[in-house]
Structures are given as structure tokens and as C-alpha cells.
Amino acid sequence: MATVMNGSIEIYFETFGDVADPAVVCIPGMGSQLLIYDEGFCMALVDRGFHVIRMDNRDSGLSTATEEADTYTLDDMADDVLAVLDAVGAEDAVVFGISLGGMIAQVFAVNHPARTRALVSAMSTTGEDDIGHGGPEVVEALLLPDAPTTEAQIEQDLVTRKLWANPDWYDEDQLRVYFAVQYARSRVVGGGLRQLAAVTRSSDRAAALMALDVPTVVIHGGADTLITAEGGRRTAELIPGAEYLEIEEMSHDFVYQVWPTFVEALTSLAARTFS
């Protein structure tokens, strides 16, 4: 457990495994904290020989809560990741992000290719206006302001999560505990919408992704209702040599049912960087 400063922004992170092993940095999605990368998932990667880093983005968890007037972008959030890698002494890393985290990971790879051993972009998209958008009901739920109390916020989250979860994998009791733990550790209010604003003020990445030269796997759910599979397919189409993996039953939820597939994909991708 540690923090690092990127200018005036403090970023909280945790590590697992041997620092001498290849690093993988796990970047959360909008409004999520590092808890989305459960310790069980992190230890599965450690067992495969990775040094695992999970972090709270700015405006989430134990990292800095910004002001409404701040105008940061995905580039700034990618530099937060760079600060974390510098803090742990990692020359490079497998840069892995889910949803918003996938966008940050893409920007990191574009801006810092020498520090990117490989890129894993999951449940994400390219920033192009007409690619990968969910339906009106889902988008409306994403834009809801925070509820006035933690209890009300948990109830709101349970309703909205159901909109973009595989119904067979949706476990309300488990999610209620997860959200309660998440809010108990967080010092941020309204951070998700400020992160979304960073996305909207950032330019699309299509041209930059076409010029990217790092080993890449793009993972998406065939049943994703928040960022449709079109977003993942387009990302893989643009990045030269990218592998595309579509998990038919996965929606926009990183649950234990898909952990083995992700662990295999990350391990296989990293192995190719040593050949």
C-alpha cells in the first residue's frame, strides 16, 4: 500500500508478488476503485509470474478528489499510471484497463510506448463518436448524480449495474457487500462524472491507435450493453497486429466467471514479448 504524486495529484496503489517479475498494472473503469481487481484475481496473475499493481484513478478510492473546475484529460490520467510505474521501479509493464481504464491504457501505450510491454484493452472503445455506444437507458443511468446517502447510493448502483450485467452472473447480495466496502474506503464524491468529463474533453484515438506498435489483445463481451462489442472490434481493427477476444456471455462486468480467460490472455500476451 503506497501513494505517489503526479504534480498535485496523489495516486494510491497496491502491489502483489515479486518486484523482479514482469509488471502488470491494472487500471479501473469509471467510478470504480482498485477493488474491481479482486485479490484473488491479482494472486492468480502472481501465480503466473507477474508483479501486479492495482491503483485508484484520480477521483476514485483513496486517490485525490479533484475540483469541478479541473479540466484534466485521459492524457493526464495516463501520466498518473506512469507515476505509479516510476514509484515501483518498473521499466515497463503490461498495461491493462477495463472500460475507462482501457481508454487510459490505450493513451498510455500511445504516449509511452517504451514503457508498455503490452496493452490489454477490455470492455473499451476508441473515442470515436459513433462507435460502441450503449442504448439511451444505459447512458442515462451512467449520468445519474450521486445519491444523498451511502445507503441510497448502493441501491442506485444495484439498479444500474443490472442494466449492464449478465443476468446469470448478477449476484445482488455479493454486489451489496462489494459496494458497501467500496464506499467505506472512498474519500471521493462525484468522481465518476468528473472522470467521464475527462473522456468527453479528450480527442479520439483512431489515428494514434493505427500507428501503435506494441503487442495488444483487445477483450470484449458479446453481450455488453454499456460499451457494445463494436467498440472492442473497432479497437482491434485499428491497432496493427492486435488479437481480438470476444467472450460471448460477458457483458460490462468483471466477475470471477471471466477471470481465468483474462489470466490466460494476459499470460499468453506477455509470453510473446519474451520471444
Q: Enumerate domains of the chain plus CATH numbers.
A: 2-133+189-272 (3.40.50.1820)
Tell if the pTM clears 0.95, that is, is over it: yes
Q: For residue 262, what are the contacts with CB-CB under 8 A and spacing of at least 6?
A: 41, 122, 219, 254
**Averaged pLDDT of the chain:** 96
The upper half-sphere exposure of residue 251, i.e. CA atoms within 13 Å in the direction of its Cβ, equals 15
Instruction: Pick the closest to residue 221 from 72, 96, 99, 82 (CA basis).
Output: 99
Three-class DSSP category at 136 = helix
- Supply 161's cell numbers: 449495474
**What is the side-by-side strand order in the sheet with 51-55?**
2-6, 9-16, 51-55, 23-27, 93-98, 116-122, 216-221, 243-247
The rounded distance, in Å, linking the Cα atoms of 155 and 175 is: 10
Q: How far is CA 226 from CA 73, 181, 194, in A?
A: 21, 24, 18
Question: What is the pLDDT, as a whole number, of residue 69?
Answer: 84
Question: Residue 128 above 70 pLDDT?
Answer: yes
In 3D, which of 195, 229, 157, 181 has the Cα closest to residue 60?
A: 195
Give the span between the Cα atoms of 133 and 52, in whole angstroms.
Answer: 31
Report the relative pairing of strands 116-122 and 2-6 from DSSP bridges.
unpaired
Between helix 150-163 and helix 172-185 the angle, nearest 10°, is 130
pLDDT at 275: 65
Q: Are strands 2-6 and 9-16 parallel, antiparallel or unpaired?
A: antiparallel
Contact 165, 39 (CB under 8 A): no
| pLDDT, tens digit (0-9, with 9 covering 90-100), for 23-64 | 999 999 999 999 999 999 999 999 999 999 999 999 999 999
pLDDT bucket at 132, cuts 50 / 70 / 90: very high
Return d(Cα 106, Cα 100) in angstroms, integer: 10
Cell of 136: 439511451
**Section 183-202 average pLDDT:** 92
227-234: average pLDDT: 98
Average pLDDT of the segment spanning 178-185: 95
β-sheet bridge partners, residue 227 = 133
**Bridge-based pairing state of the strands 51-55 and 9-16:** antiparallel
The yes-or-no verdict on residue 17 having pLDDT over 70 is: yes
**34 backbone dihedrals φ, ψ, rounded to 5°:** -60, -15
Determine contact, residues 123/29, Cβ cutoff 8 Å.
yes
